[in-house]
Homo-oligomer: A and B are copies of this chain.
Amino acid sequence: VLAAANELLAEKGLSAVTMRAVAQRLAVAPNAIYSHVANKTELVDEVLDAVLAKVDVPRVADPAEALYELMSSTHAVLLRHPDLVPIFLSRQGSRGANAQRLGEVMHDVLAEAGVTGAAAVEARRVLIIFTIGFAAFSGAPRDDGVPAAELQRHFDSGLRWLLSGILPK
């Protein structure tokens, strides 16, 4: 079921992931899906978390650089699924297993950099929101002519600004 949903996502985007389409792909009646998943929200949540599995966890010594790479990798993965990103943003609350794993990685790296406690929670939240938010914006269908490379540079700048605000000097 989850596999079928992910295939549909990869092939035809989020709007093609309907209960009925998933059922059809499995050569089964539409309502049969409800034997495996409570409702569409739950299905989508699982699909979302599956995407996060593709984020690379960096292994570099410098914590500032590790954070930079972690957020860049997340940004890149999200850009490959533009239609998912807005839903990501509205659902976010460390739901899935992969989301939680990434949250812990961030926590550890921040601790290495000397940021702990409430400051770490704050830093993590700001970085996550900035990253997902930027991906949502950049991945949207563009009617203006802004090139992807420029958006990428702006993401970089913003990320650096935040990191230099977050990390102790």
Contacts and interface: CB of A to CB of B under 8 A. Distances in A.
Contacts of A134: 129, 133
A91 B140 CA distance: 6
Interface string A41-65: 0000000000000000000000000
20 contacts: A86-B87, A86-B89, A86-B90, A89-B89, A89-B136, A90-B136, A90-B137, A91-B140, A122-B153, A125-B137, A125-B154, A129-B130, A129-B134, A130-B130, A132-B133, A133-B137, A157-B165, A158-B162, A161-B165, A162-B165
Given A89-B89, A92-B137, A129-B130, 4 more contacts: A93-B143, A132-B133, A133-B136, A161-B162
A31 interface: no
